[in-house]
Homo-oligomer: A and B are copies of this chain.
Amino acid sequence: MPKEGIMPRAQDYSQWYLDIVQQAELCDYAEVVRGCIVFKPTGYALWEAIQRGLDDRIKATGHVNAYFPLLIPKSFITKEAEHVAGFAPELFEVTRIGTDELAEPLVIRPTSETIIGYFYAKWIRSYRDLPLLINQWANVMRAEMRTRPFLRTAEFLWQEGHTVHVDEADAERETLMILHDVYADFVEQEMAVPVIKGLKTEKEKFPGALRSYSIEAMMQDGRALQAGTSHNLGQNFARAFNISFTDQNNTIQTAWTTSWGASTRLIGALIMSHSDDEGLIVPPRLAPTQVVVVPIYKNDAEKSAVLAAVAQITSPWKGRLRFKIDDRDNLTPGFKFNEWEVKGVPVRVEVGPKDVEKGSVAVARRDMPGKAGKAFVPQAGLTERLEQLLVDIQQNLYDRALTFRADHTADVATYDDLKAQVERGFARCYWAGSTEDEQRIQDETKATIRCIPLEQPGSTGKCVYTSKETTQQVIFARAY
């Protein structure tokens, strides 16, 4: 029986997504501010968990946080030619402060390469100041025609790293390190979402970048979602903003810069990787609440016995499990079970009068709804059992997503096969086409080259579109 308020995935995946977002109370639509959403507490708690995981890795790899202005002089955006072409149509412009009309508009940052580049040019003098490794947590705004909660919103939250290096090799090392050690590591280890690391094509790269890399995840409808991007900006922004330094031979050199970002769209990736027709599923390592305890009783005598048992059972959990005791008095256990299921808490522990008698509890795992995932276990050793269960659930979610991706990825040798495959998932193929070929394929199939995977087969084959011999394989898919 489908859950109230949630469209089954098989019937309408797009509506299912909107229903999960609504029913799990992740966000609200801010219809009064075009294209914006409110991050409700349950949704924002996911973002806080994502922030923690990314911030730890960003700092562990030698970066520090800073904060640059929200507003950017509009002229800054126009200093890098590709950059302005990419962002000008999407800018929110401030033209008035109080009663003052501004001579030059300020724009709300769509991304901060330009304003940060301006300051870096002031701060950097010598090779001794490099590498400069700074990250910023911020809100940004880009006008969007079609919005979708978390995936595409006018305002979103993200981190943007901006670094400066003495040469191309060091900038490239940084760009790839971030891709591997920050983004892929976080998304796979904490979010339990397997990713493909790869290079973007010229058509898909960041406006102003020399090379863009991304991690690409597969959603449950076979579509790709770009979950983090890392750009080697070459000397493009350094030239535009005059970021230069004196090298060891006392000659002035133009610097090399990188930028990299991951945003609140990761919440969308999380939802569409694991959740089911019952609601959200949050992987244990990321979950703000890992275990919810629901006490069950019918009268005051039962209540006091059960709550005393719950207090005793949970007393060793502090510092080991993130848990919540749902002792709300005006709601039935069934209502509570449903609420925590919809909100994706990994494990539910039920304690009733019989459990008090028998020294047992019922444990239900969210990744296996219904009887399959429910067990009656002794209270003795419960903490260790739950710790292990959380590890198992984390692994199961990752394995499931990996299996799903394998089942929905196929090597294709012909354009017809490619067309058929992108209806159901990722199409892997040899590619030697041009940007124009790529655009034609997009127009005809709605699929784009998601990336040129860093892991290549090392063999040669014929391009799926041009039939030219090549060693390069790519992934085609429809994308969010």
**Given the contacts A41-B134, A92-B71, A97 and B36 also touching, CB distance less than 8 Å:** no
Minimum distance in angstroms from A129 CB to a CB of chain B: 12
**Given the contacts A38-B68, A119-B28, A97 and B128 also touching, CB distance less than 8 Å:** no
> Which of B71, B89, B96 contacts A99, CB < 8 Å?
B89
Kindly list chain B residues whose C-beta atoms are within 8 Å of the C-beta of A143: 97-98, 100
Kindly list chain B residues whose C-beta atoms are within 8 Å of the C-beta of A88: 98
Q: Name the 5 nearest CB pairs between A and B, nearest first.
A: A41-B64, A39-B67, A93-B96, A36-B69, A33-B69
Kindly list chain B residues whose C-beta atoms are within 8 Å of the C-beta of A96: 91-93, 95, 105
B28–A122 contact, CB under 8 A? yes
Please, which residue of chain B has its CB at the minimum distance from the CB of A87? B98
Q: Which residues of A (46-70) have their CB < 8 Å from a CB of B?
A: 47-48, 64-70
B32–A157 contact, CB under 8 A? no
Minimum distance in angstroms from A471 CB to a CB of chain B: 42
Minimum distance in angstroms from A456 CB to a CB of chain B: 38
Minimum distance in angstroms from A45 CB to a CB of chain B: 7
Q: Is A73 an interface residue (CB 8 A)?
A: yes
Q: How far is the CA of A379 from the CA of B195 in the complex (A)?
A: 48
**Given the contacts A69-B30, A155-B71, A330 and B128 also touching, CB distance less than 8 Å:** yes
Q: How far is the CA of A34 from the CA of B99 in the complex (A)?
A: 15
Give the number of copies in the complex.
Answer: 2
Q: Which residues of A (102-119) have their CB < 8 Å from a CB of B?
A: 105-106, 108, 115, 118-119
Minimum distance in angstroms from A227 CB to a CB of chain B: 20
Q: Is A141 an interface residue (CB 8 A)?
A: yes
**Given the contacts A94-B93, A98-B90, A72 and B33 also touching, CB distance less than 8 Å:** yes
Q: How far is the CA of A45 from the CA of B330 in the complex (A)?
A: 44
> Which of B33, B37, B98, B157 contacts A89, CB < 8 Å?
B98
Q: Is A40 an interface residue (CB 8 A)?
A: yes
Q: Is A44 an interface residue (CB 8 A)?
A: yes
A91–B95 contact, CB under 8 A? no
Minimum distance in angstroms from A439 CB to a CB of chain B: 23
Minimum distance in angstroms from A88 CB to a CB of chain B: 8
Q: Is A139 an interface residue (CB 8 A)?
A: yes
